[in-house]
Amino acid sequence: MVRRKNSSSSDSMEGWNYEAKVIEIEEIIARIEAGELELEEVFDQFGKAVEYLRQCESFLQQRQQQVDLLIETLSDE
């Protein structure tokens, strides 16, 4: 499995939609659980879902940092 560069910069996340990725992850899981995929495709789709989960985690971490910064700024005032 090839690891992709971490999408942690806000520029690389431009146009990216958290909710859409969550829906895609749910659809992949549903297809795997329903047995709709050949074994090789299960592994491919599972890898895709893991990558999407990493992107979601990165997105949430960035937003948490922004919230923490805003709270810190408000506390300083």
Token output for 76: 């300083």
Give the residue among 53, 77, 62 at the shortest CA–CA distance from 4: 53
How high is the mean pLDDT of the chain? 86
pTM: 0.73
Q: 13 falls in which pLDDT band (50, 70, 90)?
A: low
Quote the percentage of the chain above a pLDDT of 70: 83
Domain ranges within the chain, ordered by starting residue: 18-76
Q: Is the pLDDT of residue 50 over 90?
A: yes
Q: 62 falls in which pLDDT band (50, 70, 90)?
A: very high
Overall average pLDDT of the 49-72 stretch: 95
Identity of the residue numbered 6: N
